[in-house]
Amino acid sequence: MRLFKSTAYFINLIIQTFVDSNSFALMLLIIVCAFANLFFIIQLNIDDKEDYHYVIDYTGEPVTSAWIAMFVLAQGDFHFGGYGSGPDVLIAWVFFILGSYLMLLVFMNVLIAIMGDTFGRVSQL
């Protein structure tokens, strides 16, 4: 696609965006893993017989389910139906709100800023 002048700009923009967002992706991975760890731990306080949950069982494996739950939280998909009861209700709600704020508002706006900066630099070339 770089052979054609009309598409070369967009290919350069995509490649430079991936290069510039590497550190952002690492930071997002760390924050998702941190919240997944917290929700995995508070999910362990719930018996399997109870009908409420903090983490939806996506895969049958609790660690993977916690990670997927935090990844979909970072994407804006909320599953907080089980946060109304259980031994760690306050912790679950506080960290759900904190995770939503950090991953959705802060980190995604940082990504937009990185992409805007990359667009500006590639446009000047």
Give the pLDDT confidence of 91-124 residue by residue, as tens digits.
888 998 898 899 889 998 999 999 999 999 988 8
State how far the Cα of 27 lies from the Cα of 12, in Å rounded to an integer.
Answer: 24
Token representation of residue 32: 């998702």
Highest mean pLDDT out of 3-7, 50-54, 60-64, 83-87? 60-64
Residue 6 in this model has a pLDDT that exceeds 80 = no
Instruction: State the average pLDDT for the chain.
Output: 85
What is residue 78's DSSP assignment?
Answer: -
For range 8-32, the mean pLDDT: 91
* Burial letters 56-89, b for 16+ CB under 10 A, else e: eebeeebeebbbbbbbebbeeeeeeebbeebebe
State how far the Cα of 9 lies from the Cα of 5, in Å rounded to an integer.
Answer: 7
Quick one: what percent of the chain has pLDDT higher than 90?
A: 34
